[in-house]
Structure 1
């Protein structure tokens, strides 16, 4: 098969890969975003504090990130489909394990360790690598935005389902029901299956040969790569803090858990549009400037939320604003990694950046619970979130968006 026929064959397959990847992320991230709804019932029945529940989700986020470089490398070597199947099995087992947890240790092992490891194989890093290899560079931001929006669609659809399961079945059976939904990803893995090839519409065939070790060393020596890591840490802190503690924060203020569930659902709904729009914008304008503006907007939005009177309207308006900015960082950050370093080892390199995101998530989930147990409020965490937002905006400004010399030489 000649090169032109190969490209045509891959382009015919691209819609299938994008659709399967988006649905996988829809389920994996949608179920994950419902975890905050379990905090009140689980902490009461298991007789654990919010810091202990927060630690379980913090461990989940940390292991989600720590495994990403390894899982990304496996995706680059063995293909995304196999990785997703294994991740799905572990994910479902972790949810069932959490349903039978009798205390903090069981919760930490199931919700924390098992689900955290499973998420690394069923979300953005693995599937975006598969998508990037079948989509041309000029459409990559849009494709990444569509897949990222899948996570938001899952949040919009599955958070209310999680609340319905808890209300109708109790939290233990609700977790088992969610495990059944997660199992569907085994079938969807077929859509992203296949070993990575040297050729592809994404341009890997145009890149000069490079080993995995050389790719990691090249990125490690680039200042912009570490600035992306630092910025993504802040994104993880924000997302984990809000997803884990915002429903409880609103309940503490007298708005009720139903408003918290509606807020999480609105974040998912508006992020469907935000992820797609930021992905498309990244194909047209400077990704680093879009990222800087996104983080600054988060900071402004948090300030407005804190200074205005707290009502159901302001809570849901804040959730809508955060939704527009929620995961718009993903197509922009992953797109910038591919733009600067190429796509052959995109899953590996973006996996390293995503590790920083998940370290931020660890501190966002755990520190908020710790500070609440210590001080009885989330005030200090809100202040830290605002300061981190503006710091992240500033960190993106010095990043160079030029491809590395290896790619520039090959294109000359």
Structure 2
């Protein structure tokens, strides 16, 4: 408790980062609620909509490392404020869309670029810079937990506006909420005034961009973590994009989709706090593997039987607990491996893998649905890859090269 009271001077920075993250993730995560109405109104297919979401995820991932490198040169403020403004522009373009092109530009390109500047990687980097190492994992869990509140507000609001006034009004409501990202980004960017700590002996990031990139590419624990991150993105974006369509296909009440996304957001708060606390005590890479395996088991039990409102909400609650727990674990692991100077860039490199998986989860799920008329093969692929990634991640977290073992024994 004394440690947390000592953080009082940086609370505005942490709360700004958390609010920015909350709106950035919550609004984007709830876009799938508009898909049934939007695709009918604009006469586009589900795969067209999911292609736009896939472009969003790809742009987010590819540009995340670039945004991280720009932070090193220019600081957080221009990236955070520019990203927040572009988020509002993207939603405005989506609300005015009359065909596929503006859906692609607004929901795809603009939101994708914006997310690279306002979502988990830079928000976690802000929080990491603001606090000392001995409470970093716990604080990252707290910021991620508060960042989960956005879907609790966005999902029911978006569904209510869409049902009462149409999907365009729902998107406009999201754009109004997104304006709150601007002051949040301003407060978060005050972290630029906090100097970087001295480099620790165990950090391997080097002193230049080239050295940092070479260190990441040759550091086996990081490479394994980044590859497993691919499956994380695939599973999560498949759900946020396609769960509303799956429930509609099964004849469920449309409001159930919003309730499920809200449950994900609510239990995400508990999960983020828990895994932030756990990461302060146990092997972060092993905890990541446990999350991937647990998600895959829960997905299997949910999809093998027809959904009901009760099973859907239980499923959403468990998945929510496992949802963003990866964020403080990944951010903390990267900071420990490479130091705070290179955390935004190297975490962004790992996030490229995550977003390639997200692209596959969104677009691949839509293609399989359009081709087969069901989501069966899509969820089976997601479960199989999730189990594999989790087992490899745990095995690697527990394994030590012979040279390390010899050093430890000596």
Q: Please, what TM-score do these two structures have when normalized by structure 1?
A: 0.91
Distance (whole Å) between structure 1 residues aligned to residue 260 and residue 227 of structure 2: 28
Give the conservation status (yes or no) of the 8 Å contact 1:336–1:401: no
Give 1:95's aligned residue: 91
Q: Note the C-alpha offset of 1:51.
A: 0.5
Q: Residue 274 of structure 1 contacts residue 324 of structure 1 at CA under 8 Å; is this kept in 2? A: yes
Q: Which whole-Å CA distance do the structure 1 matches of 2:166 and 2:241 have between them? A: 19
Within the candidate set 361, 366, 371, 1:369 is matched to 366
TM-superposed deviation, 1:206: 4.5
Question: Matched residues in 1 for 2:132 and 2:324: separation?
Answer: 22
Please state whether the residue corresponding to 2:20 is helix, strand or coil: helix
Q: 2:27 matched to 1:34?
A: no
SS in 2 for 1:285: coil
- Alignment of 1:292 onto 2:289: yes
Contact 2:35–2:46 (8 Å) recurs in 1: yes
The residue aligned with 2:124 is 128
Within 2, Cα distance between the matches of 1:190 and 1:133?
A: 16
* TM-superposition CA deviations, 1:170-191 (whole Å, max 9, x none): 2112212211211121111222
**Do the aligned partners of residues 41 and 198 (structure 1) sit closer, same or farther apart at CA in structure 2, a change above 3 Å counting?**
closer
Kept in 2: contact 1:204–1:344 (CA 8 A): no
Aligned Cα RMSD in Å? Answer: 2.2
Q: CA deviation at 1:210?
A: 1.4
Aligned: 1:80 with 2:76: yes
Check 1:80–1:401 CA distance in 2 against 1; reply closer, same or farther (3 A cut): farther
Which one of 324, 335, 339 corresponds to residue 336 of structure 2?
339
- Please, which of 395, 398, 402 is the counterpart of residue 396 of structure 2? 398
Query: Is the Cα contact below 8 Å between 1:308 and 1:314 reproduced in 2?
Result: no
Partner Cα distance (1:198, 1:273) in 2 = 29
Structure 1 residues 327-358: Cα deviation after superposition (integer angstroms, max 9, x where no partner): 11111111111112222211111011111111
* 1:14–1:131 Cα contact (<8 Å) kept: no
On the 8 A contact 1:224/1:400 being kept in 2, the answer is: no
* Alignment check: 8 A CA contact 1:126 1:347 kept: yes
Alignment match, 1:248: 245
Tell whether the 8 Å contact from 1:267 to 1:320 is kept in structure 2 after alignment. Answer: yes
**How big is the shift at 1:113?**
0.7
Instruction: Specify which of 367, 381, 386 is matched with residue 389 of structure 1.
Output: 386
Q: What secondary structure, in the 3-state scheme, does the structure 2 residue paired with 1:398 have?
A: helix
Q: Cα 1:325–1:147, aligned 2, differ >3 Å: closer, same or farther? A: same
Q: In 2, are the aligned partners of 1:88 and 1:186 still within 8 Å (CA)?
A: yes
Q: 1:204 to 1:347 in 2, by over 3 A?
A: farther
From 300, 304, 307, the equivalent of 2:301 is: 304
- Shift in Å, 1:247: 1.2
Partner-residue secondary structure (3-state), 2:396:
coil
TM-score, structure 2 normalization: 0.91
- How many residues are aligned here? 395
Partner of 2:318: 321
User: What is the distance in 1 between the residues matched to 2:307 and 2:263?
Assistant: 17
CA offsets, 1:336-386, max 9 Å, x none? 111122222111110111111111100000000100000000000110111
Please identify, of 139-148 and 12-21, the stretch whose mean Cα deviation from structure 2 is larger: 12-21
Deviates more, 1:104-113 or 1:238-247: 104-113
- Look up the match of 1:110: 106
Q: Gaps (5+ residues) in structure 2?
A: 1-5, 404-410
**Do the aligned partners of 1:145 and 1:279 also contact (CA within 8 Å) in 2?**
yes
Cα deviation for residue 139 of structure 1 reads 0.9
Asked if 1:174 corresponds to 2:170, the answer is yes
**Is the CA contact 1:340–1:401 (under 8 Å) kept in the aligned structure 2?**
no
Identify which of 152, 156, 159 aligns with 2:148.
152
Q: What whole-Å deviation, never above 9, does each CA across 1:180-216 have from its counterpart, x for those lacking one?
A: 211121111222224747844xx44546861222112
How do residues 177-192 of structure 1 correspond to structure 2 at under 5 angstroms?
177-192=173-188
